[in-house]
Structure 1
Amino acid sequence: MRRRKQPILDPKDAGVDMTPMLDIVFILLIFFIVTTSFVKEKGFLVEHLKNNKASSTPSNNIMIHLDANNIIYFNGKSVDIERLPARVEYFIANNPTENILFRPHENTNYQKVVEVLDELKQFSHLKINIGINSQ
C-alpha cells in the first residue's frame, strides 16, 4: 500500500473555534446572575445641615448629650437611660416640639449610642438630629 500524501494546510486558515468558549462564558454569566442575592440594607437616612449658625432665640428643642464617659444628659441634666423616655414625654407635654438633637461624643461607645437611639425610637413623630460633639 502506498501512502497518500497529506494535504498541506495553509497557516492562514488555521484558527481556534470560539463557540464553545462563548457558551461557557454565557453559562457562567447566567450562574452568577441567578446566585446573586439582592438584599436591601435597613438603616436610617442621614441629612446634613446646611446652616450651622447658632440662633440667639431660645428653642424648645430637646437636647440629649452623651459624653465620653457614657453619661447621658437631657437638656444639661444627667439622666439614666431607663428614665430618658419619661423625661422626653414630660418635656413634650409641657413644651411642644418637633426636634430632638442628639449629640454623642466622638469617643463614646457605639453600643451606648445605639441604646439611646433605641429609647428614642418610640417617638417616631419627632425628628431626631444627630451631631458629633468633640468637646
Structure 2
Amino acid sequence: MPRRKSAISAAVEEESQVDLTPMLDVVFIMLIFFIVTANFIRDPGIEVSRPEANTATTQTTSILVAIGKNGDIWMDGRRIDVRQVKANIVRLRADNPKGGIVIRADIDATAERIVAVADAAREAGVYDISIGTEQ
C-alpha cells in the first residue's frame, strides 16, 4: 500500500517553496530609483570654518570652491594654485553650464584670496558668485 503524506509534511513542503523573485524585483527597482534621484554634489575637498549669516540660502547646482584659513584653494577634491582656478572653473562649468560659484572661505581667510577667486570666476564667464556661510 502506498503511503500517504501527512497534512503536516505537506504544509512544510509548501512553505519551503517561497518564491523570492518579486521581492528581489522590488529591491532592484528601489535601488535604481535611489541612484537616479540622488543629488550628486562635488565636494571641494577641505572642511572650512565658515562665518554665520542670517540671510543664508542654499544653492545645490553650483561649483564649490573652498579657501582654507592659510589661503589654500580646493576645488573638486584637489588643492590648486590660484592661477589654476580659472581653468578648473571652465572645466567644471562644462558639466553644469547654468550653475554658479559658491566660495566657502574659512573665517580666517584673507579677503584678497576671496577676491582673487571671484575675479577668476568672472574671467571664466561666471557672474553668479556667492559666499558660503553657516545657516
TM-score normalised by L of structure 2: 0.50
Unaligned runs of 5+ in 1: 1-47
1:28 maps to none
Task: Compare relative contact order (CA 8 Å, sep 6+) and give the higher one, 1 or 2.
Answer: 2
Larger Rg: 1
- 1:119 counterpart SS class: helix
Task: Report sequence identity in percent.
Answer: 21
> Deviation at 1:106?
0.4
1:131 maps to 132
1:72 maps to 73
Matched-pair contact (CA < 8 Å) for 2:67–2:109: yes
Alignment of 1:1-135 (within 5 A): 48-50=55-57, 59-132=60-133
For 1:92 and 1:120, the matched residues in 2 are separated by 10
1:25 maps to none
Check 1:78–1:113 CA distance in 2 against 1; reply closer, same or farther (3 A cut).
same
- 1:129 counterpart SS class: strand
Check 1:69–1:126 CA distance in 2 against 1; reply closer, same or farther (3 A cut).
same
**After TM superposition, what 4+ stretches of structure 1 lie above 3 angstroms from structure 2?**
123-126
Matched-pair contact (CA < 8 Å) for 1:85–1:119: yes
> Deviation at 1:121?
2.1
Check 1:73–1:127 CA distance in 2 against 1; reply closer, same or farther (3 A cut).
same
Please tell me the residue identity of whatever aligns with 2:56.
L
Please tell me the residue identity of whatever aligns with 2:74.
Y
> Deviation at 1:125?
4.3
Check 1:77–1:101 CA distance in 2 against 1; reply closer, same or farther (3 A cut).
same
Unaligned runs of 5+ in 2: 1-54
